[in-house]
Structures are given as C-alpha cells and as structure tokens.
C-alpha cells in the first residue's frame, strides 16, 4: 500500500494488557476447586502432603500459565513499539523532506501589460486589472478575447519568441554568478510553434548572450519539476532555470501571451545570490481532493498563525475553477478576503504552460513587497491535477537533516 503524509500508516494494533484482577480471581478459583477435590479424593493423604498438593499444584500451574501469557504479551507489545517507532521516524523523515524549499533568486516576466516596471505589473495583477480584450490573433482571426504581447507588423511568432528569450536571459544576474556556476534549464512552452523549433530559438538566444556557465537541458514541464528537484537534487550546486512561454497558442480565445523566467537555487548549497523569497514544495491534488492538497501545501511550510495574504489562481479549466471556488474558504485560504483572490485567467487570459510560472513570479514580487505569504493554485497542461504551493518571504531557517 502507498503511504504519504496525507495517508499515514496506521499504528500497530496494541495487544490487550492482561488484567491482573482476572488472573488472581482465576487463582483463587483454582485453589478452592483444588481443596474441594483433595477433600473428596485425598482422604488417605496425610495433612502435610495434603496442603502441599492442594495449594502447590494450582499455584504452580497458575504461575506457568501467567508467565507464558505475560511473555506472549511482552513480545506483541515489543513488536508494536518497534513498528510505531519506525512509523514516527518515517513521519519525521517525510516531514523534513516535504518541508524542503527552493530559493527564488530572480524572476522576470513579460506580459501584455502596458507598465514597464515589473513591480508595477505585479501590483496590477494583484488588483485584478483586466487587460484581456477582443482583438485579432496571430492567424488574423478577429473578435478573439485575449491579451497579446506588443509586436510590430512585420513580426512573426519566431521573432517574438527570440526577442522574449533574449530579454529573459538579459535579466539574469549573471554578474553575481560564481565562477563555476552551472544551470539546469527547463523550457515549458505552449505554442503553435513546434517544441524543437522553440528549443532551437532558445539555444540561439543563449549562445548570442555570451553566458559561459555550464548548461544542462532537462526535458520536463509543469510544477512537478519543482517537487522532483526537491526530491532528487536538493544538494546540487547547480541552479534551476525554468522558462515558461506562451506565444501564438493553438486555440487563442481567452488566452494570454506571456514569457517567464524563474531562477531557483538550493538552500543548502547556494550562497552567492541573495534570495527574493522561498518557493515551497507544491502538492498535486486530483479532482475532488483540492482541500487536502491545500492543507498539505500549508503543512509543507508551515505557516505562522495559518495566515495567507493573497490567493493566486492561474491556468484553471472551468471544472477546476468550480472546485477552487468550493474550497476557497478551506485551510489555509480561509483568511483570504474576496478582493485578495487574484485570478490571472480572468484578468489576462489562460497563459497555458506559462501560467503556473507567471503566478509564482508575480506572487514572489508581491511577497517581497509586502513580506507576507502568498498561496498559488494552478492547473497543469500535462495532467488533470491542481497544484497548491506557497511563496513566503525569505527567512534564515535552513532545512533540518535531509
């Protein structure tokens, strides 16, 4: 059976402790019966041997029986104690693992907002400022509700993607990287462009940037990459660069174009860059289990006084949005007021593969400004689950024994 912190193993069934009063009552009954039987059948036995047999026989039988019963109980109790000790050690180990977090070292996001400064754009997102309008998409289909990144008439999706990648790369704090810095890069893309074509555009933009850091490309996507990294690479010296992009989506209605870059570092190994905030382990909840997922995400922090300042929603389907609304007052979001619920899908449009990373980047900026925890619930383009995670202001606490 599969166990997790949401489905803990049961405690070992405890053996019933022998009741001493019952055993002494049995001894008394045995003595009475023995004396009666000896009175009937032992009339020719002298008095000294009579009482020795009448009392000694039941006492010896009782002592042997009681000793065997206590020995069996002791073995069962020792087995239960051993199992429960292993269970507690497992819970402690899993809790420590669940409470690992990544440093958010740098965030860059580009959207259709007219503001130039990222901090101002994040505030507009926080205020649910709507930028989704009816306009033509890349295929020149009119009356599509979407938000498009500003382009020139001669631009193509390939040119825009190249420009966006160059801007994301240029904003990386390369001058603060240690000499032997290495990066693990993940591209999470939703576009009419093919994935190989997008990779080629990225590699060309990276080469033109002149950054000499060692690069490892990882073929993965969705918030699951964060959980996987925390499980398997928490002691790596490499930094994790996640790039999310949605440009020219296949279905353009009710969508948003966005480009995001998140630079993340391990708390045990990264000391060169000053973190902006902490990204805690996300929890994936299948349909109907969002409340459990939110609780688990909060347990992974844990939250001081169970307070979340804002709730960010991004990349949700209609059914997922209904489930979020039903769980909106569940722990730990019960402290969030209606105006503190930020729906990027409503104000900007669905950002596809970039949606979770855009929400994390914007929430990081607001957490930095307000020094308060931010909760994010987002969808996943690869599977039908809802991810819950938290961004908290930077703290000095390190992970415990990993």
Least confident residue range of 210-219, 254-263, 299-308, 370-379? 299-308
**The CATH number of the domain covering residues in 101-393:** 3.40.47.10
Beta bridge partners of 368: none
HEC readout, the chain: CCCECCECCCCCCCCCCCCHHHHHHHHHHHHHHHHHHHHHHCCCCCHHHHHHHHHHHHHHHHHHHHHHHHHHHHHHHHHHHHHHHHHHHHHHHHHHHHCCEEEEEEEEEECCCCCCCHHHHHHHHHCCCCCCEEECCCCCCCCEEEECCCCCCCCCHHHHHHHHHHHHHHCCCHHHCCCCCEEEEEEEEEECCCHHHHHHHHHHHHHHHCCCCEEEEECCCCCHHHHHHHHHCCCCCCEEEEEEEEECCCCCCCEECEEEEEEEEECCCCCCCCCCEEEECCEEEECCCHHHHHHHHHHCCCCHHHCCCEEEEECCCHHHHHHHHHCCCCCCHHHCCHHHEEEHHHHCCECHHHHHHHHHHHHHHHHHHHCCCEEEEECCCCCCEEEEEEEEECCCCCCCCC
Between CA 149 and CA 167 the distance in angstroms is: 13
- Determine the average pLDDT of the residues in 94-118: 92
Q: What is the pTM of this model?
A: 0.84
- Determine the average pLDDT of the residues in 162-177: 95
Q: In the chain, what is the greatest distance between 2 CA atoms, to the nearest angstrom?
A: 125
Q: 302 preceded by cis ω (within 30°)?
A: yes
Q: pLDDT tens, 255-285?
A: 999 999 999 999 999 999 999 999 999 999 9
pLDDT-derived band of residue 400, with 50, 70 and 90 as boundaries?
A: very low
pLDDT-derived band of residue 401, with 50, 70 and 90 as boundaries?
A: very low
Q: pLDDT tens, 20-59?
A: 788 888 878 887 887 777 777 666 666 666 667 777 777 8
What's the confidence (pLDDT) of residue 47?
60
Q: Is the pLDDT of residue 303 over 80?
A: no
The better pLDDT of the pair 350, 40 is held by 350
């Amino acid at each position: 059976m599969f166990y997790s912190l949401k489905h803990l193993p049961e405690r070992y069934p405890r053996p019933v402790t022998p009741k001493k009063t019952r055993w002494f009552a049995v001894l008394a009954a045995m003595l009475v019966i023995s004396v009666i039987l000896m009175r009937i059948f032992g009339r020719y036995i002298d008095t000294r041997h009579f009482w020795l047999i009448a009392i000694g026989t039941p006492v010896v039988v009782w002592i042997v029986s009681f000793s065997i019963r206590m020995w069996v109980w002791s073995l069962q109790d020792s087995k239960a104690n051993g199992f429960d000790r292993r269970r507690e050690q497992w819970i402690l180990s899993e809790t420590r693992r669940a409470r690992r977090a990544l440093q958010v070292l740098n965030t860059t996001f580009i959207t259709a907002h007219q503001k130039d400064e990222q901090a101002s754009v994040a505030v507009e997102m926080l205020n649910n400022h709507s930028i989704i309008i009816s306009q033509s998409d890349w295929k020149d289909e009119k009356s599509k509700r979407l938000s498009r990144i500003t382009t020139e008439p001669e631009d193509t999706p390939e040119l825009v993607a190249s420009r966006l990648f160059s801007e994301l790369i240029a904003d990386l704090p390369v001058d603060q990287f240690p000499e032997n810095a290495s990066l693990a890069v993940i591209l999470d893309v939703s576009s009419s462009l093919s994935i190989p074509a997008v990779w080629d555009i990225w590699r060309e933009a990276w080469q033109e940037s002149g950054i000499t850091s060692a690069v490892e490309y990882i073929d993965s996507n969705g918030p699951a990459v964060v959980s996987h990294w925390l499980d398997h690479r928490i002691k790596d010296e490499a930094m994790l660069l996640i790039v999310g992009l949605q440009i020219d989506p296949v279905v353009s209605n009710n969508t948003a174009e966005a480009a995001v870059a998140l630079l993340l570092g391990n708390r045990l190994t990264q000391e060169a860059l000053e973190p902006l905030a902490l990204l805690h382990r996300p929890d994936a909840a299948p349909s109907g289990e969002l409340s459990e997922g939110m609780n688990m995400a909060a347990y992974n922090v844990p939250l001081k006084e169970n307070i979340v300042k804002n709730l960010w929603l991004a990349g949700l389907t209609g059914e997922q949005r209904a489930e979020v609304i039903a769980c909106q007052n569940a722990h730990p979001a019960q402290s969030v007021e209606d105006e503190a619920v930020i729906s990027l899908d409503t104000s900007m449009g669905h950002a596809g593969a970039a949606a979770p990373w855009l929400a994390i980047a914007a929430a990081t900026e607001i957490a930095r400004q307000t020094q308060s925890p931010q909760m994010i619930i987002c969808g996943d383009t690869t599977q039908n689950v809802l991810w819950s995670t938290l961004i908290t202001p930077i703290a000095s606490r390190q992970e415990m024994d990993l």
